[in-house]
Structure 1
Amino acid sequence: MEERMMEEFSATVDRWSLLYEWTGPWREYITAALVFLFFLALRGFITRFIFSAILKLANKSKLVIDGKIILAFQDPLKALILVIGIYLSLLALPLAERHYLMLYPIYRTLFIYFLAWGLYNLIDGKNYWSISEKYHIDRILIDFFTKVLRVLIVVLAAVMIVQTWDYNVEGFLAGLGLGGLAFALAAQDTVSNIFGGIMIIMDKPFSEGDWIETSSVEGTVEEMTFRSTKVRTFAHALVSVPNSMIANEALTNWTRMGKRRITYHLGVTYTTPAEKLKNCVEQIRVMLENHPDVHQGTIFVRFDKFSDSSLDIFLYFFTNTTVWGEYLGVKEDVNFKIMDILEAEGVSIAFPSQSIYFENTLSTETE
């Protein structure tokens, strides 16, 4: 049985050999087409089965970066397999020698490009945000250095491609040393912004999502680039502030408040008896000391001063929350409770008013 199968296989090979010899001058083109079709099929097989299987295994891994590596190199590898197929199929064609000499630099250039493409995809700040949360690394720091690495990858890939085509890279790099001084003088603002960004990263006065305030802008930090920091204002406008300006200005980070302050004067009418005023001050103080959302570290409620049209009670305390919406809710609740205390004591809130006195009695009679 085995001998019969071997004979049939040998006969099949002989028939294909005769058919190949019969093609004559077309055999190189047929070989090239078969090589290309093989790599095209290989590309589809790897994409559909191999990548899917590896990605499933990577998703089961504890390291999130495994899946990121596969996804980063998926498209470059598919393109590279296709390029290899085209390269080998062209080698099978009866081309002139100068054409063969051109194929290798082109193939090497594309190989470097696809490798740089995969590394560029891999070094994306978003791929490492989970790592920043796990190890408490600032997202701005990760985004900044991933952008630096991406620039280095592009530059190195460009240098390697230039070397592939036998250009004098050393002379070009030496020229950069001379031109670098002129460039630095012409781009002083850009360089100062880059160093300002580095200083911000080292000092870490804010993170993405923080509410900051400077003399020039107030809002939420969305992104920091080499040149500027993008801040979303409360009017929902996006402001780009140069890093050098932020680095040299006084900056308040409101997000990093441990608690949030509420302070104001509450004016009551001059007709309020002293005893009722004392009761109101004491009840407001007790209410704040027992309020679950008021920080108990610092609470001041005092009869402060005699204003032009009111007796002023000074309130100074903090909320436990720093979130704007929750802070407003606590402030509203406290205000309603103060109104209840004033109503229970029969005390009225004062409003600006003036009393005018006439030296002589005015007559209302008409002649």
Structure 2
Amino acid sequence: MDALMPRKGKTFPPGVYRFDMLEEILDDRKPPAKHWLVKGLIASGETSAWIAPPGGMKSALMAELAVAVSNGTPDGCWHGRKVPALWGVLYFALERADLVKRRLRAHFERMGPAGDETGYYGIAVVRDTVNLMDHESASKVVKTVRECSEQLGPLPRLLIFDTFAKTIAAGGGNEDKAQDQGKVFANIQRIKDALDPGPGTIGPPHVALIGHTGKDESRGARGSNAFYGDADLMVEISGKEIKTATVTKANDMPEGPLFSFRSETHEFGKDEDGDPITVNIVSAEEVATASPSEREPKLTANQKTMFAMLHDAGASGLLTEDWNEKARQAGIGIKRRADLTDIRTSLKSKGLIREMGDRWTVRH
């Protein structure tokens, strides 16, 4: 019985998995609040996924996030959300490390001289290949974070991996295979556990993963559905001149448009031929998110009916045949079966629904 009593000080013998007794959980007088890096969005110990098609400004947005978390912003917010404290950032630039560095430099040039004699600090960029399918590589990430903490000043509490696909490809894996993705997410958890300072602290770092959408952008992230299942927060970035970041999955915040932004060109100077040296970064200008009435697409009567059926099914959604059967009961697709496929295709093209396997859900 003594072995089942709550442990004071949270010490465990070697070879034992850590655990919390119910008595300890209920005895905690503090409310179970999260430790935020960006209030209501980026939490300590969680994993976020930021996905977009090539050229979708996802890496540019993460460079801006790195600057905001490590050095703050003029209004103390990142796209309207408070940055409560400043922390170190470790950016694993597995693709185009030089571009990441140029973007960071552009942001600091735009910010101007630092406000005090300490100057700017808090960001380090790793340009080496990182194989997160390998346990030893995960241990190397932990050692790298600890080494950075000796030089950065603030402890790294945001780890950005750009891109998720490269962490798998480095180990000869395939992002289409759930087994390979599972190895990566298991090692990400090992990294968090190893870097967790323990009770009474801000907790383990947040891991932000940059990913790609597939050829059909309406179906979300490229590769296995495990990516969607293992992320605490998933944000999809879409749009042409004006980009909109939309929450498509979250543990405890509503899904829907988060904020909009556009890019701007930063010029460093001229090269030897007199041509401008430039890089695209996220503009400092705030862009208003479209109102619901502006976003709402026009639907036919049958499209509205089938969309309502899927909406009523909730988060679990409907299998194709189950959805077809409900539609036929409502008189849709009886004379022309292809109408069902046409309606689904139209709803998907409008960004209202998504398919994962043979299951359809509403994109909130």
- TM-score, scaled to structure 1: 0.21
Specify which structure has the bigger relative contact order, considering alpha-carbon pairs within 8 angstroms and separated by 6 or more residues.
Answer: 2
Which one has a larger percent strand, Structure 1 or Structure 2? 2
Query: Could you say which structure has the larger radius of gyration?
Result: 1
